[in-house]
Amino acid sequence: MKRTGIFIFMGLAIIFSLAVFGCEGDTKVPPSAPITETPKISPTQPPQTPTTAHPAAPTTPVNSIQPDITPQPADTGGRIKVENPIADLGVMGPNKSYTAQFKFTNIGSGKLIISKVQSTCSCSVPDLKKLDYAPGESGIVSVTYQSSAYGGAVEKHLYILSNDSTNPRAEITLKGTIELAVVSEPSRLQLAFNKDNAGAIPFTIKSKDGKPFKILAVNCSRNVITAPFDANVEKAEHTLQPKVDIKTLKEFPSGSMEIRLSHPSCNSIAVSYEALAAYDISRPRIILQNVEPGQTLSRDVFIKNNYGQDFSIQSVTCQNNTMKIASQEKQGSSIKLMIEISVPPQTNKVRRYITDKLDITTSDGEVLTINCSGWYKI
């Protein structure tokens, strides 16, 4: 009985101890401390060495354009190579014919087919005997150049059009300098409408080499300028007095005279002329965009007398009666006009364009034209 009491006492003591102190190894962790889980290491697996983290490689967007690496088939077409694409004709005389040749070779693996040789000037005429060339075959483009009556440097361009995909317009060039054995002083006549005989002054024609020559003819388009001469006189220097037709000059205020000569190295020369126009129009053409029938538009136009002379408007006529002068204001030797445009009905729905012109006659008899064009709004 005594032994039983002892066992009961010892059991109660153990229960009391567990209630007060808790079980062994069951330690409470404060709420603020983080809980870290220690990885389990297998006895047969060595410890893992920590590695440094690297950013992930960028990925290619789904819709990005990727380079085309598909093998391309070899080009089997013709290839043109011009040996000397520039021909220098050197010093040339006026009104004479010169020839240059351009040799080319098909350096491609296929046939070279030439469609034409294109010239940019009627003075340069190309000639090519055949149009197709096998690989390695050569050909020659012959160009005949006719020099002008004017002195100075010249440069003419031509193009060989072919099936060469890398060079479909192979360029060839003629260049040189036209040197005149006979010259005119001055070489250009500056004329004016407000002067007697348009202010034309005598000009001298003389040979640079001192050789005598005759004047055979003096030609001017529409006879704007004439110049009397003696075809029997032969000398190294001639002086001509031009006579100007003022009325014709107003229609053709610029041009040239051709003077034919008997000089052995120069059979003709050209003397140009130009007259300052009597009037300038600030807006010689009025352009209308997307207009509607019945619409009324206004535009300012200035008319200026280049010689500072006073003038007035004598009469006005309109071709299609859509334009008129709404007002005018005198400003010294200029007049400011307000042009009023009445857009006509659109009688044809297919034809969108409208045109008209206004002719203005000044007090000195000059006829000035203001054109108008445009299109209807769709």
Tens of pLDDT along 120-178? 999 999 999 999 999 999 999 999 999 988 889 999 999 999 999 999 999 999 999 99
Confidence grade of residue 300 (pLDDT, cut at 50, 70, 90): very high
Q: Tens digit of pLDDT for each residue in 13-25?
A: 554 444 444 444 4
Which structural domains are found in the chain, ordered by start?
A: 80-178 (2.60.40.10), 182-276 (2.60.40.10), 279-376 (2.60.40.10)
Residues 306, 276 contacting (CB under 8 angstroms): yes
CA distances 223 to 82, 226, 262, Å, are: 47, 6, 22
Residues 215, 260 contacting (CB under 8 angstroms): yes
DSSP 56: P
Q: What are the strands of the beta sheet with 97-106, ordered from one edge?
A: 80-82, 97-106, 138-146, 124-127
Q: Is 72 helix (H, G, I), strand (E, B) or coil?
A: coil
What is residue 66's predicted lDDT score, i.e. its pLDDT?
55
Task: Give me the numbers of helices (H) and strands (E) for the chain, helices first please.
Answer: 2, 27
Considering the chain, what is the average pLDDT of its residues? 85
- Centre a 10 Å sphere on the Cβ of residue 208 and count the other Cβ atoms it contains: 14
Question: What gap in Å lies between CA 184 and CA 329, rounded to an integer?
Answer: 46
- Centre a 10 Å sphere on the Cβ of residue 183 and count the other Cβ atoms it contains: 16
What is residue 75's predicted lDDT score, i.e. its pLDDT?
58
Consecutive H or E run containing 304 = strand 296-305
Q: Is 85 helix (H, G, I), strand (E, B) or coil?
A: coil
What is residue 286's predicted lDDT score, i.e. its pLDDT?
96
Torsion angle of C-alpha atoms 88, 93, 97, 102, degrees rounded to 10:
0
Q: Tens digit of pLDDT for each residue in 313-361?
A: 999 999 999 999 999 999 999 999 999 999 999 887 777 899 999 999 9
- Centre a 10 Å sphere on the Cβ of residue 68 and count the other Cβ atoms it contains: 7
Phi, psi of 2 (to 5 degrees): -60, -40
Residue 210 φ/ψ region, left for φ over 0, alpha for ψ in the -120 to 50 degree band, beta for the rest: left
Which residue, among 247, 199, 245, has the nearest Cα to 365 in the 3D structure?
247
What is the token pair recorded at 220?
A: 């001017």
What is residue 20's predicted lDDT score, i.e. its pLDDT?
42
